[in-house]
Amino acid sequence: MSQVHLIDHPLVQHKLTLMRRKEASTNSFRRMLGELSTLMAYEITRDMPLQDIEIETPMETMTGKVIDGKKLVLVSILRAGNGFLDGMLNVVPGARIGHIGLYRDPETLQPVEYYFKMPSEMAERDIIVVDPMLATGNSAAAAVARLKQMNPKSIKFMCLLAAPEGIATMQKAHPDVPIYTAAIDRELDSHGYILPGLGDAGDRIFGTK
């Protein structure tokens, strides 16, 4: 069973509540998402492996610690996942970025990939897949399945809000992938929107409604 990590830091919870409000403008929604992404990135990278290196301070030689291994990859599920990237890059500025685009086939209701672009050497990298809303979980599960074909070192999934349905989908399909979220909401409505939620994350980030 994949672990669900609820990021319940007071600043995260405070900003999330302000973002959910229907009065939040595109400007403030975006700004708060940026701030939240930075805070969440700090939490999700807590267990990154370190290696010792020898350095010289102005005083003497010492052994310091730096992040080990190849650069992390942030994989954005288009389009709302892009809203997480700038804030996360504040704490991992060297991270590589991948994009995956999926749409739902109206007949089969299954996710179909229309875009996929990843950095090189994925097999040697840790991946954080980002999408603000874990609703049905179908896109997240499909994205993770596609990424697993590249044999990465590890995969984590990060969202802002998770519905119980989405968590169940991910836990069934990918019990090895931990989920990091700022809230677990009540349920999905009949259109697959999260309740109480925050509406359409893409529209709110990009001001398209």
**Site residues (CB under 6 A) for ligand URA?**
80, 133, 135, 192-194, 197, 200-202
171-175: long-range contacts (C-beta < 8 A, 24 or more apart)?
171/1, 171/2, 173/137, 173/141, 173/144, 173/145, 174/2, 174/141, 174/144, 174/145, 174/148, 175/1, 175/2
24-28: long-range contacts (C-beta < 8 A, 24 or more apart)?
24/204, 26/204, 26/205, 26/206, 26/207
> Of 87 and 197, which CB lies nearer to ligand URA in the complex structure?
197
> Of 119 and 192, which CB lies nearer to ligand URA in the complex structure?
192
Q: Is 79 annotated in some ligand binding site? A: yes
Q: Is 30 annotated in some ligand binding site? A: no
User: Which residue in the list 26, 38, 104, 146 is annotated as catalytic?
Assistant: 104
Q: Residue 93 CB: number of other CB atoms within 10 A?
A: 8
Distance CA(76)–CA(205), nearest Å, equals 14
Catalytic status, residue 104: yes
Catalytic status, residue 126: no
Q: Is 132 annotated in some ligand binding site? A: yes
Catalytic status, residue 200: yes
- Are 99 and 78 in contact by the 8 Å Cβ rule? The answer is yes
Catalytic status, residue 203: yes
CB of 53 to ligand URA, least distance (A): 42
CB of 163 to ligand URA, least distance (A): 8
Q: Is 131 annotated in some ligand binding site? A: yes
Residue recorded with tokens 């590890």:
154
> Of 125 and 139, which CB lies nearer to ligand URA in the complex structure?
139
CB of 201 to ligand URA, least distance (A): 4
Half-sphere exposure of 99 (CA within 13 A, CB side): 10
Q: Is 24 annotated in some ligand binding site? A: no
CB of 190 to ligand URA, least distance (A): 12
SS3 112: strand
* Residue ranges at the known binding site for uracil: 194, 199-201
| Residues flagged as binding site | 79, 104, 131-139, 194, 199-201
Catalytic site positions? 104, 108, 200, 203
